[in-house]
Amino acid sequence: NKMDVVLLDPQFDPAEQGSAFVIREVNVLRPPQRRRIFFVLISPSMRTMDAHAAFLSNVNLVVNVTDVEELHRIMEVGLREFNDLYREFNAAFSLTAL
C-alpha cells in the first residue's frame, strides 16, 4: 500500500518497539520513495514546527503533543511548505503534490 502522510507518536507500541520499527522502515526507503512521504513526529518535548528538530529526527515536521488540537492547521502549513520545496522536482517528473 502507498502512504503519503505518516504521523508517528514515539510511544507507539513500546512493547514491540513500534516507533523504532516505523522510523527504521521510513529511513531505509530509497530517496524517490522517501520524498513522496510526509513524515510527522508527535513529540512531548520538541517545539511544533521546529525545522531543526525535524531535521535531526529525520522527519518533515514535528508537532508537540500540546498542539495536537491544531494538527489540521499545522499540517496544512507543513504540507504547503513541503510541496513548495519539491515543486520543481515534482514538475520535472510529472508528479502531483501531496
pLDDT of the residue at 98: 86
Question: Would the pLDDT of 52 be above 80?
Answer: yes
Rounded CA gap, 52 and 50, in Å? 6
C-alpha cell read off for 62 = 514535528
C-alpha cell read off for 34 = 522517501
* Biggest alpha carbon–alpha carbon distance for the chain: 43
Q: Categorize the per-residue pLDDT at 13 as very low, low, confident or very high, splitting at 50, 70 and 90.
A: confident
Question: Would the pLDDT of 2 be above 80?
Answer: no
Q: Using an 8 Å Cβ cutoff, are 22 and 40 in contact?
A: no
Can you give the pTM of this predicted structure?
A: 0.86
Rounded CA gap, 63 and 3, in Å? 19
Rounded CA gap, 54 and 1, in Å? 25
Mean pLDDT of 48-67: 95
